[in-house]
Amino acid sequence: MTTATLPSGSGTTPREDLAEATVRTFFDAYRAHDVERMVELCAEGAGFRYVPFEVWSRQRVLHGEGKVRTVGKAIWTTLIDAFPDLTNAVTSLRADPDGNVAAEACIAGTQARDFGIIACVGGRYELPYLFLFHVTVDGLIDDIVAYWDNVAWKKQLGCLEID
């Protein structure tokens, strides 16, 4: 056994501590609307999946799934543009010794532009999210998955349609 797998005094391993620190830095960057920094914290080719993100049209369904550097960056940038005061507060953070991190966060913002089918009426939302990360031994995020409830989100913003 190497020191990298020995529990620290707090009952966590250095890998867990590093993973948690990376995720906290990620949310700090998100709060600062620093999308470039958010991307820098992710490995090249990092996976991205926003599970509730589905855009339905007659021909096909677009899912919020792909890579951080393409789909993720575009979604974050568009969200910050539509909700210029977008902020977050991490409410719980848990890690395992293999780099998996579960983070509950409250995300809030005031709508300033249309976002998808949600027309802007200036509404404000606060919503609980669950993010699941995987962080490499080098402290880079190589996978992000997020869950939230679009019903609560849309109702707070005055949108009652299901696309």
Partner 1 sequence: MSARELAEKFFGHVEAGEVDEILGMMTPDATVSLVPLNRHGPMAADGASYLRELARAVPDLLVRVRRLFVTADNTAVAEITIDGTQADDFLAVANQEKQVDLDQAWMLTVTPDDRISAVIAYWDQNQLYRRLGVKRLDQVTITAG
Residues numbered 117-156 forming contacts with partner 1, rule: CB under 8 A: 128-130, 132, 145, 147-152, 154-155
* Binding-site member from 80, 102, 112, 140 for partner 1 (CB under 8 A): 102
Instruction: Record the tokens describing residue 59, joined without a space.
Output: 């021909």
- 157, with CB counted inside 10 A (0-12, 13-18, 19+), is buried
Residues numbered 82-101 forming contacts with partner 1, rule: CB under 8 A: 94-98, 100
Phi and psi, residue 145, nearest 5°: -130, 140
Identify whether the C-beta of residue 90 lies closer than 8 Å to the C-beta of residue 105.
yes
Residues numbered 63-82 forming contacts with partner 1, rule: CB under 8 A: none
Shortest distance, position 145 Cβ to partner 1, whole Å: 7
Q: Which is nearer to partner 1, 32 or 62 (CB)?
A: 62
Shortest distance, position 147 Cβ to partner 1, whole Å: 4
Segment interacting with partner 1, rule: CB under 8 A, options 8-16, 26-34, 37-45, 74-82: 8-16
Shortest distance, position 111 Cβ to partner 1, whole Å: 17
Residues numbered 34-63 forming contacts with partner 1, rule: CB under 8 A: 51-52, 54, 56
Identify whether the C-beta of residue 62 lies closer than 8 Å to the C-beta of residue 49.
no
Closest CA to 116 of 31, 50, 17: 50
Instruction: Record the tokens describing residue 143, joined without a space.
Output: 């996978």
Identify whether the C-beta of residue 135 lies closer than 8 Å to the C-beta of residue 22.
yes
Does the footprint of partner 1 cover residue 21 (CB under 8 A)? no
Q: 144 has which bridge partners? A: 48, 133
Closest CA to 42 of 131, 144, 130: 144
Residues that bind partner 1 (CB under 8 A): 11-13, 16, 51-52, 54, 56, 94-98, 100, 102, 104, 128-130, 132, 145, 147-152, 154-155, 159-163
